[in-house]
Amino acid sequence: MKQNIGSKKELLGDYGLVLGIEIHLHVKTQMKMFCGCSNTDLFDAEPNTRVCPVCLGMPGALPVPNKEAVEKTQLLGLALSCEINKHSYFDRKHYFYPDLPKGFQISQYKEPLCKGGIVRLQSGNGILLERIHLEEDTAKSFHEGEETFLDFNKSGVPLIEMVTKPMIYSVGDALEFGREIQEIVRHLGVGDANMEKGQFRVEPNISLRSPLEEKEQKIPEYKVEVKNINSFKFMEKAILSEIKRQKEILDAGKIPIQENRGYDEAKGKTVPQRSKEEAHDYRYFPEPDIPPMKFTSSYIEDLKKELPKLPGEIKKRLISKYDLGQHEADVLYNEELIELFEETGNLIQDYKKVANLLVNRPEHRDKTPEELLSYIAKEKSRIDDSEALQPIIDTVIEENKRIADQVRDGKEEAIEFLIGQVMKKTRGKAAPKTVRELLSEKLTA
Amino acid sequence: MSTISKSTVEHVAVLCSLTLSEKEKERLESMLSETVDFIGVLEELDTNSVPETYQVIGTTNVFQKSDRVSVSLDRKEALSNAAKIKNGKFVTGAVFDR
Ligand SMILES: [Zn+2]
């Protein structure tokens, strides 16, 4: 999707933009990641009603991984051309925070489920992925004055983390990448990816580089990670405001501090997030409570067979098979009109016409192929060229002089009567829009 | 023969979110050193030919049984150990956003 985001030069000056993106997304499963608590409709559940000793992080509770979550992560990996690790296991990632009462998050470090991978953008640019791994989400915390409140319903929800290489060079590509992943995740049934519900969180890390660094393909020595983004609109705003801030610092001959910032919707800019530097000492080690996972080639092959065609492939097929444009393909796909489009197109053998109708005239989208066929047939017999209509219009004006005069005097609604007369003479076959244009041209010019 | 320095004690304290007095730091410096030295006895073994592992029972692919949905506690039980509760939520002292 092309966005009008101002000229590159105006925005960046001589600097080049370097972006990496981290995405966290909730996996849609029956149960949570390591316990039997239900993972459906969590958003609407009363606080702390979907919890058990495992997801409350109580001592002695035994986490047991969820196969459905593992499979869905691997399915997403296959869709993004990742390598599926045949040997994978969970690690403990330690940090101290009330939303994680057992003191560590069960995550993956050395052997994630998926390695590598690529996402092709419409521009032809390929965005390489570092990895995709599976972990557990933490509890939700609410901060209010001197207190923090905790709801553990979200604790233990299976969470996929995906990280790109820092090789996205424009805001437009970053947005397209995010939307593309969201679309694929939904298409595969891996997750609902609702950003407002926190099911799909995008964290861009942003830095600028000098023309020399750009020429030498060097990655800048700092990066700023922006968190708290719950829509693509805010993601765009956050990146733009961050570019502006970093450019000012660099212009002054300084280097921005490497830090985490949050996007403040009210201020329309990013603000530093207070955190302790030492917090990054995660002391990862293999989770001893969970045996490792091994996957055979035949298991991976079987999973590949489950992979449905991806949105990008479906649209590409429409474009080449029926000679459609990208926009038409996007609308037909997004509005779930492909089946109707193809059936109707087969009936009347004019795919371009059907696509036009469905894309530009949403009121026809609920019709059956047969109804569309008869509508289009009627349209085709329409008298829509002014040369054919002109004599009829002249006759109607001649026969209704008084009404025509009223239109000339500015009584606009009188024109409806004249249109009616033309329709009557053509037995409903005249195109009303053209008739109106011709009449008002004639009478108000 | 102290193996743990004061700065290590301070670092670990930060990771555990503990506030220590100077006296406690001194005490922990020697206590932790003693503990690490004790475990250091293992260094005497030649482990060159022993592969690293975190799991000795040899099982793989242990997953949840899909018929085990909903073993959740009721809320009263879930909150029963909380020091403070408000509107069905656990309450702690203010912490800042990560
Ligand atoms: Zn649970």
Contacts (Cβ under 8 Å, ≥6 apart) of A246: A206, A207, A208, A224, A256
Ligand 1 centroid–CA B38 distance in Å is 38
Which CATH number belongs to the domain containing residue A401 in this structure? 1.10.10.410
A381, A411, A434 - which closes a domain: A381
The CATH number given to B6-43 is: 1.10.20
User: Do residues A215 and A326 both lie within one domain?
Assistant: no
User: Do residues A200 and A62 both lie within one domain?
Assistant: yes
Q: Report the pLDDT value the prediction gives residue A274, as an integer from 0 to 100.
A: 64
Q: What is the DSSP string of A212-255?
A: HHHHTTPPPS--EEEE---SHHHHHHHHHHHHHHHHHHHHTT--
Tens-digit pLDDT string for chain A (445 aa): 444 455 677 788 899 999 999 999 999 999 999 999 999 989 889 999 999 999 999 999 999 999 999 999 999 999 999 999 999 999 999 988 889 999 999 999 999 999 999 999 988 889 999 999 999 999 999 988 889 999 999 999 999 999 999 999 999 999 999 999 999 999 999 999 999 999 999 999 999 999 888 889 899 999 999 987 889 999 999 999 999 999 999 999 999 998 889 998 888 889 988 654 445 688 999 999 999 999 999 999 999 998 988 888 888 889 989 999 999 999 999 889 999 999 988 887 888 889 988 998 898 899 998 888 888 877 777 777 778 888 889 999 999 999 999 988 888 888 999 998 988 888 778 888 888 888 888 887 6
User: Do residues A38 and A168 both lie within one domain?
Assistant: yes
Pairing of strands A114-115, A16-26: unpaired
Note whether B83 contacts A: Cβ–Cβ < 8 A: no
The verdict on residue A3 lying in a domain is no
User: Do residues A174 and A255 both lie within one domain?
Assistant: yes
The verdict on residue A393 lying in a domain is yes
User: Do residues A250 and A124 both lie within one domain?
Assistant: yes
Rounded Cα distance, B76 and A39, in Å: 20
The verdict on residue A191 lying in a domain is yes
User: Do residues A254 and A360 both lie within one domain?
Assistant: no
Q: Which of B97, B69, B18, B75 shows the shortest CA–CA distance to A56? A: B75
Note whether A134 contacts B: Cβ–Cβ < 8 A: no
Domain that residue A392 falls in = 386-444
Which chain B residue shows the shortest CA-CA distance from A37?
B70
* 242-301 in chain A: CB under 8 A from chain B: 260, 262, 273-276, 278-279, 281, 283, 285-288, 290-294
Domain count, chain A: 3
A284, A306, A328 - which closes a domain: A306
User: Do residues A334 and A392 both lie within one domain?
Assistant: no
DSSP B51: P
Rounded Cα distance, B95 and A148, in Å: 6
Helices in A136-231 by DSSP H: which ranges?
Answer: 171-188, 211-215
Torsion of Cα atoms, A361 then A366 then A370 then A373, to 10°: 0
Note whether B74 contacts A: Cβ–Cβ < 8 A: yes
Q: Report the pLDDT value the prediction gives residue B68, as an integer from 0 to 100.
A: 63
A259, A290, A306 - which closes a domain: A306
> Taking every pair of C-alpha atoms in chain A, what is the biggest distance, in angstroms?
96
The verdict on residue A122 lying in a domain is yes
User: Do residues A295 and A328 both lie within one domain?
Assistant: no
Give the distance from residue A350's alpha carbon to the nearest chain B alpha carbon, in angstroms: 50
What ipTM was assigned to the predicted interfaces of this complex?
0.84
User: Do residues A114 and A261 both lie within one domain?
Assistant: yes
User: For chain A, how far is it from start to end, CA to CA, in angstroms?
Assistant: 42
The verdict on residue A1 lying in a domain is no
